[in-house]
Chains A and B, each alone.
Chain A
């Protein structure tokens, strides 16, 4: 089929079915917007994880005089135990990226600074604050390796992973991402049903043409092609609009508001996704739109447009 002829057939089909084509565009836009939001939420989780995991550390608290855990039976950590622990940490390179040693005095100063407005400061004796090794890991998920090596070692009171504190926050973001994907799934079902209805209606309004095409011996491909292209154009346009919406949301809502207010050079709470992430997921949305249109129209045409 010549391109010009095919284009005129497609244009004719769109003109006849304007309202249905517009609804396919809008439903694809909404479903792909939800899908895109889900993907972006997932990327937000990854971005935030990366940001926090760079900052958080595993803390190995050393024994004080007051410690009552079995590993602290000998009292406060000795110099020998401390050096032993330090060399063991060095042995764990490259998993261990950096080790800071915080003395009891430094820890007490930090404690005083944090609770400067609280009367609790006066009731806590200086030597009850643990000195510690703050360990930064190259892969924070391998916390277990450090914990199992040092938990219960002589001179170690406890090993704590700050990552645990953030897990709830990430779980919340993950849930948000899953909800968006679940909504997207429902909307995708809506789009499939709508596309099926639209194609059936288009096939009905064009039944005379298709009958003639069949009679003169046009192949199934030629008969189906205008329907498939028409559906594909509508869903791809929907995808383009959803990418536009996501871009607007990220550009003005996240980059333009949250990032300025909640993060930045001053060392904020979080790092946020940017428009680059929208461009990164855009090909998936367009790909999804094309696959959705092609699969749905192919199956519908096989069922409703016999050749």
Chain B
């Protein structure tokens, strides 16, 4: 589903590369934690997948597309197959829960009857049914992240990228959010979650890809956060 083949990304000639010769393959339907300290290259990896950035060298293949050869006009179609969730939720503050989720479908020109069916379904999937009319400031951090997840998956993407989705949340709420992500993963969605939340990685025991200074230092099935624990 996602293939990095010897990918290097340099933001400037002088600086050290943000990603340095990374090769990794993520299969359809997998759940992968990408771990590493700040500046290790996790976010760069995410940005390469949604083609916010282009690799300096090497190949990035996502859903059958070679991204360096993908023309700009075809980028939106790629992004429709990828849902994204961030640490800071990025909700529209003037819109309620329902409208925030519906927005993702409206800008794609989905018909009203489809929106009326998909939005409540998705809100139920993330456990927000009954809170459709709430505005973001009336929700807890965990609930806001659920709205963001609902918005990311309402168009049924084949990949969901979560960049530090629990970074702003307490441990209990973080675990709830990862449970929601697991539920989405069970529907067949490939899930890539960048995190430095030790307890989440240790408790959920999924594949762990570890980056350090832009290099891939570990790729382990059912891994934990710290290599020393192996």
B-binding residues in A (CB < 8 A):
1-2, 5, 12, 208-209, 211-220, 222-223, 307
Contacts and interface: CB of A to CB of B under 8 A. Distances in A.
A1 B104 contact: no
Given A1-B107, A212-B104, A213-B107, A220 B76 contact: yes
A117 B112 CA distance: 89
B109 interface: yes
Contacts of A219: 73, 76
A1 B109 contact: yes
A217 B78 contact: yes
Contacts, number: 58
B107 A215 contact: no
Contacts of A222: 107-109
A11 B46 CA distance: 34
A265 B90 CA distance: 73
B106 interface: yes
29 contacts: A1-B109, A2-B109, A209-B103, A212-B92, A212-B104, A212-B107, A212-B151, A213-B107, A214-B76, A214-B79, A215-B50, A215-B79, A216-B79, A216-B80, A216-B104, A216-B107, A216-B108, A216-B151, A216-B155, A217-B76, A217-B77, A217-B78, A217-B79, A217-B81, A218-B108, A219-B73, A222-B108, A222-B109, A223-B107
Interface in B10-57: 50
B51 to A, nearest CB: 10
Interface in B147-188: 151-152, 155
A209 B104 CA distance: 10
Given A1-B106, A215-B84, 14 more contacts: A12-B94, A212-B104, A212-B107, A213-B107, A214-B79, A215-B79, A216-B83, A216-B107, A217-B108, A217-B155, A218-B108, A220-B73, A220-B76, A222-B108
Q: What size tier do the contact residues of chain B reach?
A: 20 to 34
Interface string B55-89: 00000000000000000110111111111100000
A215 B90 CA distance: 11
B92 A208 contact: yes
Nearest to A215: B84
Nearest to A206: B92
Contacts of A208: 90, 92
Contacts of B92: 208-209, 212
A208 B103 CA distance: 12
Nearest to B148: A212
A214 B90 CA distance: 13
Contacts of B106: 1-2, 5
Interface in B113-159: 151-152, 155
Contacts of B104: 212, 216
Nearest to B94: A12
A27 B82 CA distance: 43
Contacts of B108: 216-218, 222
Contacts of A12: 94
Nearest to A1: B109
A217 B72 CA distance: 12
Nearest to B95: A209
A55 to B, nearest CB: 63
A17 B108 CA distance: 25
A71 B45 CA distance: 98
Nearest to B111: A2
A115 B73 CA distance: 82
Nearest to B75: A307
Contacts of B155: 216-217
A212 B90 contact: yes
Contacts of B152: 216
A219 B84 CA distance: 17
B39 to A, nearest CB: 23
Contacts of A211: 90
A23 B94 CA distance: 26
